């Protein structure tokens, strides 16, 4: 029987190992922002991208680690996440903390939500969500990434749409190597091998903060924990609100 913890490198996805990976990368690479002039620099560069699908809490943990060692990343927020709500004060406070640590904010865009079929539709809804993020968090949003893109959606591969750099553009995919932890495991190669052995000149590292935790866990354990902690928080909020207004929690 295969040991998934070995096959899928569970021990790679801890906060301490993440810090080690960044320190290793800093030996040869400059961490840059998502804009055309930065990407075209004639030097070894890394685009550090976080698609925040599930956990703003873990996003803040990674942001703090990066800040400690002077690494700047871009956090792509998903307005249609089923796991967090950008209108919740506690969530918004964490996003603002990430911003205060010097990181950038991007848009993680779900085109399936709007059933996008044309370029005009894409740009309309990108502008809509870009404006929402910019107004809520008082930041400039210069880049977007697609959430769970289909083959049809990936045909929208111009360098920019709605005034934002497209992380799935043909130019970036052609000229920038790619390393991803989608679904809680390395999709192609381990990040350590890419930065210490392959050493491409330009590299985009995509991580999803929910997969990076203080202790070693399986991907399923991490998701179940997200669900359970959110349920606990909602229960506490309900009971605490009743208590604050002098009302009773009525049960059987």
pLDDT at 2: 62
Q: How far apart are CA 156 and CA 213, in angstroms?
A: 34
For the stretch 195-207, pLDDT in tens is 999 999 999 999 9
Residue 187 has pLDDT above 80, yes or no: yes
Which of 51, 47, 55 is CA-nearest to residue 83? 55
Tokens for 250? Answer: 């009525």
Give 31's strand partners: 46
Tokens for 9? Answer: 């490198």
- This prediction has a pTM of 0.94
Under 8 Å between Cβ of 211 and 184: yes
Q: Look-up: residue for tokens 């873990």? A: 58
For the stretch 77-113, pLDDT in tens is 999 999 999 999 999 999 999 999 999 999 999 999 9
Q: How far apart are CA 52 and CA 62, in angstroms?
A: 11
pLDDT at 149: 94
Q: Which domains does the chain have, with CATH numbers?
A: 4-218 (3.20.20.370)
pLDDT at 41: 74
Give 179's strand partners: 205
- Percent over 90 (pLDDT), the chain: 91
Where are the strands (E) in 68-211, listed by range?
74-77, 104-109, 143-146, 160-161, 164-166, 177-180, 202-207
SS3 of 84, please? coil
């Amino acid at each position: 029987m295969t040991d998934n913890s070995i096959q899928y490198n569970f021990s790679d996805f801890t906060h301490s190992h993440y810090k080690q990976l960044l320190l290793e990368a800093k030996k040869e690479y400059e961490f840059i922002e998502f804009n055309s002039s930065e990407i075209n620099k004639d030097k070894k560069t890394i685009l550090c991208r976080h698609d925040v699908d599930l956990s703003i809490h873990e996003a803040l943990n990674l942001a703090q680690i990066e800040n400690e060692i002077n690494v700047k990343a871009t956090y792509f927020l998903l307005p249609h996440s089923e796991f967090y709500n950008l209108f919740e004060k506690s969530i918004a406070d964490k996003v603002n903390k990430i911003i205060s640590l010097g990181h950038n904010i991007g848009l993680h865009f779900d085109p399936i939500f709007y059933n996008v079929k044309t370029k005009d539709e894409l740009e309309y809804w990108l502008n809509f969500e870009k404006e929402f993020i910019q107004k809520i968090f008082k930041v400039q949003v210069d880049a977007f990434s697609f959430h769970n893109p289909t083959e049809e959606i990936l045909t929208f591969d111009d360098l920019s749409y709605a005034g934002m750099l497209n992380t799935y553009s043909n130019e970036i995919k052609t000229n920038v190597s790619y390393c991803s932890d989608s679904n809680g495991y390395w999709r192609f190669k381990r990040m350590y091998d890419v930065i210490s052995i392959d050493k491409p000149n330009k590299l985009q590292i995509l991580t999803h903060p929910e997969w990076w935790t203080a202790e070693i866990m399986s991907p399923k354990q991490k998701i179940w924990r997200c669900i359970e902690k959110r349920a606990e928080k909602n229960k506490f909020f309900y009971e605490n609100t009743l208590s604050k207004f002098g009302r009773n929690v009525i049960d059987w």
